Structure 1
């Protein structure tokens, strides 16, 4: 059973949730699990990640080391770890690893970019074993072209409601070396802890792969090195299950794929995943320009589950300055990456980016192509679109999530983002969904 960190109740009952991990009992619906740690037990009993509050992350790092980290990326594309002290809601962790995170989100950074605006990965246990906060050691401070990041936060809420593996998301006030604070969305990174939370019954030799932004889903041969296209984030150091999948979807006949893919892929979950990305109008998914997806292979079943990742362009968000619906907070249309003579790949409602089926048209993904070429699976996908439009949009679940995030940000971050902006960006999410529907 998928375990959700943020469990949304029906709209009439409200959607407030509280996640308190470690040192206390947890319920099945929380998706949390008790953990042991070398961190001080007293602090672990009180550490919590209440998703109805805005949290604080203060980073202290050597300025020279920070500048060198950025310059190294600009010169080589390499993302190096540096040591820092990180304080989360008043609890300080020393010798923490931080590094830049993302690809398209790093296109415009320079050594002069305000450090609090950088997308960062934070690993509390990079250099000190067992360091964690509320049972989690690996966080990502996300970037977003909207001021509130509500589009991604709401998308993760709905991902859980769709019955798919999501991840913990909290609103955060981030500062670096005493800088001004920036409002960001911070999420739990997908790692061994995350696998244990969401796939507790998986086999011991299971593997979590991440598709790299510049990677390919092509067949490169049985003995090729696929590590440049897929990184192993958790589990066994084993590429064979992935190689077998790529062989089938790239080289198999329609008949062979129909016969063998159900034994290698959770067909039902994948249909739901594709439908979900369509319903929330996210073109930057598994076959979008960012190649955004994780693949979890369960050794006990021998099957893959595609795991959604990166929803900062959900609800028609623009990759260069536009919020949900493709609009910047000043009301102007965000600039678009790509050929200006081509029709926009997003922002026109679910399905507008690809009249021929699920996903974006910016990348030919063999897995998606093989799946949608099968009439039975395509029909399953289409039925899931209808079901999710009903259960996520028409039911009021989307509106309840937007309301909760608006309340959270208004109460805890209105000094960083104007109340009007919070309301405007929330309304844009609802308008995007209404247009899609």
Structure 2
């Protein structure tokens, strides 16, 4: 007897049903609901951008420390003649230098560091700086300020045969700027922004960053994750007295400043040289300020709004502390508001975004110290501090090795120029174009791009900062700025804080191994002259005498 068609279909369905696992058959309604929910999410939220909470891989708060090396004495006690001795593999050092010249990457080499008698093994050591390293010569080669690499044809790393300092890349044909003018010392690459040449054969003279946790997670030295070994600037000579003096007077003025000390610095049994050590602004530094989030402005950064995606700002800011609990959104909000607010709104609402009195003091200090390379300079040297209680920002300075250079008579409302290099209209001059095949270095804008407000000529160094420019241009904040300027002038110059601080620094430096008495006297005399000229010139200014 033939099977009815309907019965055959039921039998087939039964066989297929039993091929489905029992658990699936039991929970098919739940699974169907989940599938429907997934489809709904895809349809309804498929175009919604999901933004990460954490946008920086930098270190978090100090409670991440797993091992704190206490040392024997406070590293930044200026009453102590500190010593720092570094040893590393010569082969590893050469590989690191070869890599930097070839690619520009600043890789860490593993080193053992003895600080004031305390040995710390496997410390990360790398080159530090951007334009500063345009001075560096390695095996007769440089990594020029402009371009991808160049042979040093001037007779070796220390023998300049054409009247220019050795080291650093040059424009073709020498230091002449197309269209007229010349860089100090014959070439920007020759002297970088510091006025001296550097040789990889003399590591005791190079700019370094010591990282205590690079090869040992969670390790600190006296709470410090990193320590910078600073190099000379235009106003500081070989002793970097200008940066130490700037940090001293900023601290005396009651503003946040990094700690510092001089130390006898030795590398692999080479001659000892007195060097300036400076606290690197890390999570430990942030914890000392208060309850807030610290953001570093990067040399490649711009103070411009680039949308709400925090990853668009990876080249602009680095979050230093509180990663995981806070993100970059406050900075994005600030930049957007500064860029897009009307003049009336800027005047009315600045105090809701920024600690106005603190910012006035920051801006006044940069002028008083003749600091060209501040938040509006080519290096974008500043940190943003976001107070979690007030929900407002303060600006903290960093990298003061170009202070006390330039025209000592520049007034409270004058734009500070770097040692006369910029003249009145910026650098390079109008009409300047890069030679064929040359590229601008990290931290500088290409022709027609970048933020040139505040002094940079089109196609030149990217300078300017919209927050600083709008603040100084606003009539509403003129009095608060001038009040801060007048108070700080009287403390730093009229009351003699700058001179006394310089005398104390010279006395401390004289007890450090590797001390060069002649260089220290020369640098100190030059600084005293600048302080005297600045004191006299500003004493006649209407802002001071109001």
TM, length-normalised to structure 2: 0.62
Residues of 2 paired with 1:104 and 1:267: CA distance?
Answer: 32
**Are 1:367 and 2:454 an aligned pair?**
no
- Equivalent positions of 1:155-234 (< 5 A) are 155-199=246-290, 202=291, 206-223=292-309, 225-234=312-321
Gap runs ≥5 in structure 1: 1-32, 319-323, 326-334, 346-358
Measured on the aligned residues, the alpha-carbon RMSD in Å equals 3.0
Aligned to 1:134: 222
- Say if 1:279 and 1:360 are closer, same or farther in 2 by CA, change over 3 A: farther
Deviation by residue 1:318-351 (Cα, 9 ceiling, x = unmatched): 9xxxxx99xxxxxxxxx97967897899xxxxxx
Aligned to 1:422: 520
Secondary structure of the 2:220 match is coil
Secondary structure of the 2:227 match is strand
Residues of 2 paired with 1:315 and 1:186: CA distance?
Answer: 19
Deviation by residue 1:358-381 (Cα, 9 ceiling, x = unmatched): x97342211111211221212211
- Say if 1:254 and 1:116 are closer, same or farther in 2 by CA, change over 3 A: same
Equivalent residue for 2:137, pick from 110, 113, 119: 110
Deviation by residue 1:360-410 (Cα, 9 ceiling, x = unmatched): 734221111121122121221122221111011111211111111111112
Residues of 2 paired with 1:395 and 1:67: CA distance?
Answer: 50
Residues of 2 paired with 1:277 and 1:184: CA distance?
Answer: 24
Contact kept in structure 2, 1:61 and 1:84, CA below 8 Å: yes
Contact kept in structure 2, 1:279 and 1:433, CA below 8 Å: no
- Say if 1:91 and 1:412 are closer, same or farther in 2 by CA, change over 3 A: same
**Are 1:292 and 2:381 an aligned pair?**
yes
Deviation by residue 1:4-27 (Cα, 9 ceiling, x = unmatched): xxxxxxxxxxxxxxxxxxxxxxxx
Residues of 1 paired with 2:204 and 2:266: CA distance?
Answer: 5
Aligned to 2:190: none
Equivalent residue for 1:434, pick from 532, 537, 544: 532
Of 100-109 and 60-69, the range deviating more from structure 2: 60-69
Cα distance, 1:218 vs structure 2: 1.5
Deviation by residue 1:184-238 (Cα, 9 ceiling, x = unmatched): 2111110111111122xx1xxx321111112111222222611101122222351
Secondary structure of the 2:85 match is strand
Equivalent residue for 2:96, pick from 56, 63, 69: 69
Secondary structure of the 2:390 match is coil
Aligned to 1:395: 495
- Say if 1:340 and 1:195 are closer, same or farther in 2 by CA, change over 3 A: closer
Which of the two has higher C-alpha Rg?
Answer: 2
**Are 1:255 and 2:344 an aligned pair?**
yes
Aligned to 2:436: none
Residues of 2 paired with 1:69 and 1:380: CA distance?
Answer: 49
Cα distance, 1:286 vs structure 2: 0.9
Residues of 1 paired with 2:229 and 2:364: CA distance?
Answer: 27
Contact kept in structure 1, 2:71 and 2:115, CA below 8 Å: no
Aligned to 1:240: 329
Deviation by residue 1:234-289 (Cα, 9 ceiling, x = unmatched): 22351111111110111110122223221111111110011011111111111112
- Equivalent positions of 1:312-391 (< 5 A) are 312-316=401-405, 361-362=455-456, 363-391=463-491
* Regions of 4+ moved over 6 Å: 33-37, 339-345
Of 359-368 and 372-381, the range deviating more from structure 2: 359-368
- Say if 1:391 and 1:344 are closer, same or farther in 2 by CA, change over 3 A: farther
- Say if 1:296 and 1:405 are closer, same or farther in 2 by CA, change over 3 A: same
Residues of 2 paired with 1:34 and 1:216: CA distance?
Answer: 32
- Say if 1:62 and 1:336 are closer, same or farther in 2 by CA, change over 3 A: farther
Residues of 1 paired with 2:308 and 2:342: CA distance?
Answer: 18
Contact kept in structure 1, 2:454 and 2:469, CA below 8 Å: no
